[in-house]
């Protein structure tokens, strides 16, 4: 049986799309029995996709330089790249910050919110720096397939992965295509 | 008008000259996607979704292209489908169309097109420019980020409402729908008719009160008739769990064809007066709850000396019940008879070339009659002459005070089909108007069911007796020492608590069914849409108790 490796990660996101992926329940086992091998994902807690990974799935928008690095790594190491959820596909809710200067944004988030006492904006090499604009995946790299939704229905994620495993081009429509 | 033969997708049809490709296709049962097109509005060709192949040259917008003899149309070639997908990408990419938390998600025509054409990503990245958000208006929220510039709102405001408030300012990608060209909605000349919200295909113009309270498919849509004035406009009331979400105009109603005014669409939903939830009797200065039996026993004891004063806003069944119980001691609180006998119906407004509106502000009351007049003044070259007509006087060059009535009449006589629109008239004015034999007179009865009061022979008189029964929604009266005052009303205001002795609750807006007689003498039956609190007596209950006292 052919092995098809899948790696995933989440960027500027809420992880809801990964929850929806897990919401496939037993159908995940079905996909594994069809040949899917799940490697580096936030759920398996392995951090980096191996070179030559077949399917890369990314949830979340690209908002910091760290995110951009992950996206480029995934594009380089995965043959097929799938954007999972409205944030990865369209940019999503986080793009609201595009209308606010970054200094103001960080100050509001870490210092001036009503319940914060003695707040400080985090600094350091481990903290990503905000890019000028919070973007969808396809504004940074070429994306092969998209699964919109907030989160996408588990049925849609299942359909797309199954189609890829069967060598078909996934096409979402009707009940499976949702923007909210 | 001649006929033309046209072939659409291989099917032939003969249609009248002056029909568009979209209309001809519809007659053949062929669907073409649209966004800015609206059945009740003149075609505009703004969105370009309906582009079809129609002979040599660039594709044509089906909604705005007349068919010509021998035309061959293809509504769905691979090229046309590609064009449609690109147009959709451009529409989505122009502004900020977040579906995730948009009020209209699920009811949005742009979103529906996205789903239909399998749009699963954006070709053109958005979210770089923030467009204005105007939340100044008390009832309507305007989010420019969701606008697709279909201009349906501006077109409806002009063509159907006759208000001409909304228009497009700036050009190109900087175009914005603006009220009075540069005002905040709340400071503009908007009369809150709500047509813009009703026609907006996306979440740009949204009803504030109904926002986030449910999609159309989660609500029940009930067709009924408005009871706020005697025009009798058709309504579509959106109800969810015994709560009115919003009121839309019924496009299919022959009276108003979807147009409403703020009195029927918004004001009753924003009622702030506290409700009267059960009968109350004032004993030694303190209010105590009493049963309906007790309340009517008190009335029964005073029956011989009581007189009833009725608002004309009540259903026919209730008016009749009071009349039968109190006979010639039943009166109307407001004037009933027309100062000039009417000779026109609403349809006469469609053919008139001169309107003379006397003493009534059609932006504040009878709003749909105002729309019927205003929307013909600019496009159809009709003239509007306003004589002390409140805010209406500000929109016409022919504006007069009563002292200049002769000049106004002189102007009016220049027309061919002249309609006088009036309600109550001061002394001396009605006599001078009445003699104009070439004029048609459209009388607007004072209240929604004034015509029923007339039919039942109930006449207007000021209250004089000691024992009085008042019935209505907007009651205000004086109390003299020694009075005993009973009030049937939905609302318990401070004034009523101070001046009345017995309060009995009746249903409020859309809370009970009843018959109304419109200004044209038509009987319309109003449906019960929501159920009031348990202690409120229905019209049926009040009527049957009155029979027995």
Higher pLDDT, B129 or A135: A135
Per-position DSSP letters for chain A, written without gaps between them: ---EEEEEEE-BS-SHHHHHHHTTTHHHHHHHHTTEEE-S-TTTT--SPPTTEEEEEEESBEEEHHHHHHHHHHHHHEEEEEEESHHHHH--GGGGGGGS-HHHHHHIIIIISTT-SS-----STTSPPEEEEEE-GGGTS--SEEE-SSSPPHHHHHHHHHHHHTTPPP---GGG----
pTM, to two decimals: 0.92
pLDDT at A75: 97
Q: Cβ-count burial of B274 within 10 angstroms (0-12 exposed, 13-18 middle, 19+ buried)? A: exposed
d(CA B288, CA B132): 53
To the nearest whole number, what is the mean pLDDT of chain B? 94
Contact A148/B121, CB-based, under 8 Å? yes
**What are the tens digits of pLDDT across the range B337-379?**
999 999 999 999 999 999 999 999 999 999 999 999 999 998 8
Closest chain A residue to the Cα of B117, Cα to Cα: A173
The per-residue pLDDT string of chain A (180 residues; one tens digit each, 9 = 90 and over) reads: 789 999 999 999 999 999 999 999 999 999 999 999 999 999 999 989 999 999 999 999 999 999 999 999 999 999 999 999 999 999 989 998 998 999 999 999 999 999 999 999 998 888 999 999 999 999 999 999 999 999 999 999 999 999 999 999 999 988 899 998
Contact B115 A177 (CB under 8 A): yes
Neighbours of B208 (CB within 10 A): 16
How are the residues of chain B apportioned to helix, strand and coil, as percentages rounded to the nearest 5?
30, 25, 50
For residues B80-106, average pLDDT: 92
Q: What are phi and psi of B68, to 5 degrees?
A: -120, 160
Query: What pLDDT does B266 receive?
Result: 96
> How far A98 CA sits from the closest chain B CA (Å)?
6
ipTM of the complex: 0.92
Which of the residues A83, A145, A150, A180 would you substitute to probe the B interface, choosing the one with the greatest number of B C-beta atoms within 10 Å? A180
Shortest Cα distance, chain B CAs vs residue A86, angstroms? 8
- Tens of pLDDT, residue by residue over B457-492, are 999 999 999 999 999 999 999 999 999 999 999 999
Looking up tokens 């175009």, which residue turns up? B175
pLDDT bin (cut points 50, 70, 90) of residue B394 is confident
Rg of chain B on CA atoms, in Å: 27
Tell me, yes or no, if A56 comes closer than 8 A to chain B by beta carbon.
no
What pLDDT score does B379 carry?
A: 85
* Nearest residue in B to A134, CA atom: B127
Question: pLDDT-derived band of residue B62, with 50, 70 and 90 as boundaries?
Answer: very high
The confidence score (pLDDT) of residue A65 equals 95
Provide φ and ψ at B51, rounded to 5°.
Answer: -60, 135
Give Dmax (Cα) for chain A.
58
Q: Nearest by CB to A177, from B100, B105, B120: name it.
A: B120
Chain B residues lying within 8 Å of A179, measured CB to CB: 99-100, 105, 111, 114-115
Instruction: Name the residue among A89, A134, A150 with its Cβ closest to that of B121.
Output: A89
Nearest CA in chain A to B128: A98
The torsion angles phi and psi of B171, rounded to 5 degrees, stand at -140, 165
Instruction: Give per-residue pLDDT as tens, B161-196.
Output: 999 999 999 998 889 999 998 888 888 999 999 999
The predicted structure's pLDDT at residue B1 = 67
Which residues in B335-356 are b (16+ Cβ under 10 Å) and which e? bbebbbebebebeebeebebbb
Give the distance, in angstroms, between the CA of residue A131 and the centroid of all CA atoms in the same chain.
17
Q: What is the Cα–Cα distance from B503 to B79, expressed in whole angstroms? A: 72
Cα B422–chain centre separation: 20
pLDDT score of B118 more than 80: yes
Q: Which residue of A has its CA nearest to B105?
A: A180
Exposure of A12 in the CB half-sphere (CA atoms within 13 A) = 30
Residue A156, chain B, CB below 8 Å: the answer is: no
Q: Which residues of A touch B120 (CB under 8 A)?
A: 89, 146-148, 172, 177
Three-state DSSP class for B506? coil
State residue B190's pLDDT score.
95
Do the beta carbons of residue B34 and residue B47 sit within 8 Å?
yes
Q: Is the peptide bond before B44 cis (omega within 30 degrees of 0)?
A: no
Helix (H, G, I), strand (E, B) or coil at B403: helix
Q: Chain A residues with CB inside 8 Å of B125's CB?
A: 91, 135-136, 139
Q: Does B118 touch chain A (CB under 8 A)?
A: yes
pLDDT band at B98 (very low <50, low <70, confident <90, very high): confident
């Amino acid at each position: 049986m052919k092995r098809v490796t899948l790696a995933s990660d989440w960027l500027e996101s809420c992880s809801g799309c990964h929850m929806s992926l897990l919401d496939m329940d037993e159908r995940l086992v079905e996909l594994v029995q069809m040949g899917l091998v799940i490697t580096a994902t936030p759920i398996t807690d392995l951090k980096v996709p191996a070179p030559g990974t077949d399917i890369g799935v990314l949830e979340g928008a690209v908002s910091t330089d760290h995110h951009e690095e992950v996206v480029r790594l995934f594009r380089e190491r995965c043959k097929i790249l799938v954007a999972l959820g409205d944030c990865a596909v369209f940019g999503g809710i986080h793009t609201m910050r595009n209308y606010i200067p970054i200094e103001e944004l960080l100050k509001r988030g870490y210092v001036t919110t009503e319940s914060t006492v003695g707040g400080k904006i985090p600094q350091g090499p481990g903290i990503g720096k905000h890019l000028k604009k919070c973007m969808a995946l396809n504004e940074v790299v070429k994306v092969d397939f998209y699964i919109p939704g907030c989160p996408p229905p588990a049925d849609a994620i299942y359909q797309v992965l199954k189609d890829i495993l069967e060598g078909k081009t996934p096409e979402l429509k009707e009940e499976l295509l949702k923007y909210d | 008008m001649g006929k033309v033969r046209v072939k659409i997708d291989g099917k032939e049809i003969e249609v009248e000259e002056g029909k568009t490709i979209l209309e001809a296709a519809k007659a053949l049962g062929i669907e073409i996607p649209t966004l800015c097109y609206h059945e009740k509005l003149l075609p505009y060709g703004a969105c370009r979704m309906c582009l079809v192949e129609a002979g040599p040259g660039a594709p044509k917008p089906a909604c705005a292209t007349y068919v010509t003899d021998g035309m061959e149309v293809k509504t769905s070639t691979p090229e046309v489908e590609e064009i449609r997908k690109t147009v959709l990408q451009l529409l989505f990419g122009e502004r900020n169309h977040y579906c995730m938390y948009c009020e209209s998600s699920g009811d949005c025509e742009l979103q529906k097109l996205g789903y239909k054409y399998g749009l699963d990503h954006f070709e053109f990245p958005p979210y770089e420019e923030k467009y204005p958000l105007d939340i100044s208006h008390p009832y309507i929220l305007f989010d420019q980020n969701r606008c697709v510039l279909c201009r349906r709102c501006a077109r409806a405001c002009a063509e159907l409402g006759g208000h001409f408030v909304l228009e497009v300012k700036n050009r190109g990608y900087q175009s914005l729908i603006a009220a009075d060209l540069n005002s905040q909605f709340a400071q503009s000349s908007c009369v809150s008719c709500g047509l813009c919200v009703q026609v907006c295909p996306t979440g740009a113009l949204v009803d504030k009160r109904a926002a986030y309270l449910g999609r159309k498919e989660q609500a029940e849509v009930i067709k009924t008739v408005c009871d706020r004035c005697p025009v009798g406009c058709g309504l579509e009331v959106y109800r969810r769990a015994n709560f009115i979400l919003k009121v839309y105009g019924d496009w299919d109603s022959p009276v108003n064809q979807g147009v409403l005014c703020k009195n029927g669409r918004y004001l009753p939903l924003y009622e702030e007066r506290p409700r009267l939830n059960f009968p109350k009797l004032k004993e030694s200065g303190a209010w105590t709850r009493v049963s309906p039996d007790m309340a009517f026993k008190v009335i029964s004891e005073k029956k011989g000396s009581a007189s009833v004063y009725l608002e004309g806003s009540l259903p026919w069944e209730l008016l009749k019940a009071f009349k039968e119980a109190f006979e010639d001691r039943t009166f109307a609180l407001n004037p009933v008879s027309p100062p000039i006998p009417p000779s026109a119906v609403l349809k006469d407004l469609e053919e008139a070339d001169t309107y003379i509106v006397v003493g009534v502000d059609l932006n504040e009351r009878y709003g749909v009659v105002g729309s019927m007049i205003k929307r013909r003044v600019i496009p159809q070259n009709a003239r509007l002459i306003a004589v002390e007509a409140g805010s209406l006087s500000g929109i016409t060059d022919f504006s007069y005070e009563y002292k200049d009535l002769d000049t106004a009449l002189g102007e009016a006589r220049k027309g061919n089909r002249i309609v006088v629109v009036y309600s109550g008239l001061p002394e001396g004015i009605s006599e001078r108007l009445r003699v104009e034999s070439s004029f048609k007179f459209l009388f607007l009865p004072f209240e929604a069911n004034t015509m029923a009061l007339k039919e039942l022979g109930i006449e207007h008189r000021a209250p004089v007796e000691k024992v009085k029964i008042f019935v209505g929604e907007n009651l205000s009266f004086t109390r003299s020492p020694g009075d005993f005052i009973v009030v049937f009303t939905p609302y318990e205001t401070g004034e009523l608590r101070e001046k009345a002795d017995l309060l009995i609750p009746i249903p409020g807006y859309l809370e009970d069914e009843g018959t109304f007689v419109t200004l044209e003498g038509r009987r319309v039956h109003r449906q019960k849409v929501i159920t009031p609190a348990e202690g409120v007596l229905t019209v049926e209950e009040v009527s049957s108790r009155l029979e027995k006292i």
